[in-house]
Structure 1
């Protein structure tokens, strides 16, 4: 083999080896880049997922806060409307009580209340008070029940109040007390459900 052939052979061997080494380096570099890219892609996906979750949580909190504020506002509005309706209702009840007080049934009710106080006293001394507005009925009721009746110094909207001093008992059948108790215990139920909105 001549020197020229040797040189040519050496050149081809060197080039083949350089190409192989270059190809290996390029492949290693490409593999490293692909690994870095995959890691970067996974990291970006995780960051995006975390950001989406964080934003979703924030939006849910904001939504819940808005919903709570709206519910509170609705409850206030409903409560206000219920109070207005209750006020109107109890004005109507009071008006009807005033009408009832001018009927013969009212006089019968007072007589029943007086007799009930009489029975409850079981012979102990007692005093039955009538509302000042019922002074006109004092003699009639006294005759009908056999009780000595007194007119109260202040109005209690009708009905009777009886006191048994020896037993320290007050029998309060006044319309004022009954109306006040009814108002206190009054719950306006929403249509089609209970008071909890279920």
Structure 2
């Protein structure tokens, strides 16, 4: 009986050890699977977060660009208004005379056609008297200023406000930084 009990206990112990080993292996496998799943879910969550952040940043950049463009347009509307006021001053006449003299000097002996803006037609005779140069009224409205053509050298001297405004508009950037609100 004792031998049978001892053999039975040995069988039970060996079965118990086998079950404990199976349980330990099962636990290790379950832990490994759960860690793999946690890593996969973490990676997926990070990717979703990065995508959401990228979308948000893109939307912010779009809004920022739109606001900058609106501000830029307002600045240049105000600049155009200030330019209209300037064109009513004596300084504008001096500017036109200076541009005409500069164009004539640059042309040298070559014939030059100097155009003034149609809005400056009333100033034509005063400008011709002041410079001694025949002026032509442009068919195109270039806001103000002077354009000169030296056909012998295929040169256009463009001191028109339209061109200067367009060039400034195209190169204008909001730099930000200290002191900029």
Query: TM-score normalised to the size of structure 2?
Result: 0.93
User: Structure 2 regions of 5+ residues with no counterpart?
Assistant: none
Matches within 5 A, 1:40-189: 40-189=26-175
What are the Cα deviations for residues 95-148 of structure 1, in whole angstroms up to 9, with x where unaligned? Answer: 000000001111111112112212221321111100011112212222222222
What SS does the aligned partner of 2:157 have?
strand
Relative contact order (C-alpha < 8 Å, sep 6+): which is higher? 2
Question: CA–CA distance in 2 between the matches of 1:133 and 1:144?
Answer: 18
Question: CA–CA distance in 1 between the matches of 2:38 and 2:32?
Answer: 10
Judged with a 3 Å threshold, the aligned counterparts in structure 2 of structure 1 residues 189 and 70 are, in CA distance, closer, same or farther, namely same
What are the Cα deviations for residues 52-100 of structure 1, in whole angstroms up to 9, with x where unaligned? Answer: 1111111111111111111111111111111111111111000000000
Question: CA–CA distance in 2 between the matches of 1:118 and 1:41?
Answer: 96
User: Structure 1 regions of 5+ residues with no counterpart?
Assistant: 1-14
Judged with a 3 Å threshold, the aligned counterparts in structure 2 of structure 1 residues 83 and 143 are, in CA distance, closer, same or farther, namely same
Question: CA–CA distance in 2 between the matches of 1:42 and 1:193?
Answer: 62
What SS does the aligned partner of 2:159 have?
strand
Shift of 1:193: 10
Query: TM-score normalised to the size of structure 1?
Result: 0.85
Which of 16-25 and 96-105 deviates more? Answer: 16-25
Select which of 21, 38, 43 maps to 2:24: 38
Question: CA–CA distance in 1 between the matches of 2:119 and 2:61?
Answer: 41
Superposed CA RMSD in Å reads 1.7
Judged with a 3 Å threshold, the aligned counterparts in structure 2 of structure 1 residues 56 and 193 are, in CA distance, closer, same or farther, namely farther
